Amino acid sequence: MFEAEIYIERRKKLREKLSSGILLFPANSESSMNYPGNCFHFRQDSSFLYYFGLDTPDMFGYMDVESGEEILFADELTIEDIVWMGYQPTFADQAKEVGIRKVLPVGKLQDYLFKAASQSRKVHYLPPYQGKIILLLSQLLNIAPAMVGNSYSIELVKAVIAMRTIKEDREIEEIEKACQVGYEMHISAFRNCRPGKSEQELYGIMEGIAYQLGTGTSFPTILSQNGETLHNYNHYQILTEGRLLLVDAGAEALSHYCSDHTRTIPVSGKFTPFQAEIYNLVVAAQAKGIELSAPEVTNQSIHLAVCKVLAEGLKEAGIMKGNVDDAVAAGAPALFLPCGLGHHMGLDVHDMEGLGEDYVGYDEVIKRIPLFGYNRLRMGKALKPGMVMTVEPGVYFIPSLIAKWEAEGTNKEFINFEAAKKKIGFGGIRLEDDILITPNGNRILGEKRLPTTLEEVLAAMNDN
């Protein structure tokens, strides 16, 4: 948590961005896992954390745009709660830590919202995603549960995105801490990767480090020899000589800021010539992406420039063919990179994704490209100083996608399907770092950068 003034200032700034009405921020609720009393690890809503800082469930942050009144609606613990959960500061004391003087029981919120409704004042809230919160909002605002998801405030969404998109220096410091934990996690994979071990074992070691040094991982760790599956959450395989291991993992700092890094390493400690060729290509593609990331440059144009690097390299490898610029314009590289180059990162690993990807990543100037693969770019618009982005190109050989494109003849003038099919079983290679856009360009976040070049990777793997 930051000092109270930070939250006071953020809330004031947010109110100034809205014309009128009530701003309602529900904290997250505990979520049951396998029976009601056994819950998943609690994670606070990131916008609630940003404006209200408190890390406990079942509260509402309330602001009146016109009067500036701020209230925290929270129920103080009963003696029963304290017996099971231990003593905790009262909500009245917790609220003071984030600059809020008025705390009322949650039951009183309804009165305030009735009053607002009777005066035809708008109640602004962000898109809800927890079932319990949707039902609570349905009750409180007297709208059908099915309508709650559509009735969020676009005005509030845009105001929150405008603020959370540009990171304050204190936020950068926290992201750097998460990056340091991420560094230790990934280095452990380099050092423990060898044939005969299980993916699960490496996964467990990384998970342990995330919990030792932070509050755990920022998303479920992807650690798989089937790196061609973009979000592969299975860890059941035994590490096998000759295969590649893709590790995409991030940490959450104690402040809940995130990191997100990917490295791909050869299980046996050496690359085959083709693995090395594609590895070096992804290194070059990522270097191009980082080199181009600067204020006023659109992330969409960077994505396309990176696709061009990949298309050139894949043409050299005999897997793509034809004119490279035409191939990029047609969307052909998406066979090997069917996702975007990167995303915002902050309190969420895909920062603010829950507020609506089109609001976060696109605007009046930059529209989403509808072509397969390019349409998955989460962030297309112009970069600005203070943005934190991931740069994560990859090359993936996805059997079902290659088969589909071949059967349909999709981009057949740019793809050598016979050569591509020979690479089935290769898996995938992805490289990911987190960067801060600075006034003159960018810098890679984290005190130390993970081994990146082929030589650095091999050296780190053999450094036991």
Neighbours of 387 (CB within 10 A): 24
221 binds Mn ion (CB under 5 A): no
Stretch that binds Mn ion, among 191-199, 256-264, 352-360, 435-443 (CB under 5 A): 256-264
Pairing of strands 433-438, 388-391: antiparallel
Report the relative pairing of strands 22-26 and 123-124 from DSSP bridges.
Answer: parallel
C-alpha 176/C-alpha 257 separation (Å) is 9
Give the integer Cα–Cα distance in Å for 427 and 415.
Answer: 18
User: What is the contact mask toward Mn ion in residues 175 to 214, using x (rule: CB under 5 A)?
Assistant: ----------------------------------------
Spatial distance between the Cα atoms of 108 and 218, rounded to a whole number of angstroms: 35
Instruction: CB nearer to Mn ion: give 260 or 348.
Output: 260
Which listed residue (199, 260, 312, 433) binds Mn ion by CB under 5 A?
Answer: 260
Selected binder of Mn ion within 390, 410, 411, 442 (CB under 5 A):
390
**Contact status, residue 52 vs residue 2, Cβ threshold 8 Å:** no
Residue 94's H or E segment, with its range, is helix 91-97
Give yes or no for a contact between 317 and 342, defined as CB atoms under 8 angstroms apart: no
Give how many residues touch Mn ion by CB under 5 A. 2
Cβ closest to Mn ion, residue 255 vs residue 262: 262
CB of 257 to Mn ion, least distance (A): 15
Q: Which stretch binds Mn ion (CB under 5 A): 131-139, 214-222, 383-391, 397-405?
A: 383-391
Q: Which is nearer to Mn ion, 419 or 444 (CB)?
A: 444
Which residues does 55 contact at the CB level (< 8 Å), separation at least 6? 1, 44, 49, 256
Nearer residue to Mn ion within complex by CB, 71 or 389: 389
Q: Which of residues 2-41 bind Mn ion (CB under 5 A)?
A: none
Task: Return the range that interacts with Mn ion (CB under 5 A); candidates 124-132, 232-240, 254-262, 368-376.
Answer: 254-262
Does residue 351 touch Mn ion according to CB under 5 A?
no
Q: How far is CA 427 from CA 140, 245, 265, 320, 422, in A?
A: 50, 8, 12, 18, 12
Is 299 among the residues that bind Mn ion (CB under 5 A)? no
Min CB(201)–Mn ion separation in Å: 24
Least Å distance, CB 234 to Mn ion, is 19
CB of 442 to Mn ion, least distance (A): 16
d(CA 103, CA 125): 20
CA distance 391 to 290: 7
Of the pair 201, 353, the CB lying nearest Mn ion is at 353
> Under the criterion CB under 5 A, does residue 232 sit at the interface with Mn ion?
no
Give the C-alpha separation, 310 to 326, whole Å.
13
Q: Smallest gap, in angstroms, from Cβ of residue 329 to Mn ion?
A: 26
Question: Smallest distance, Å, CB 11 to Mn ion?
Answer: 30
The tokens describing 306, both together, are 């990176």
Shorter beta-carbon distance to Mn ion: residue 378 or 423: 378
Judge contact between 69 and 22, C-beta under 8 A.
Answer: no
Residue numbers of the site for Mn ion (CB under 5 A)?
260, 390
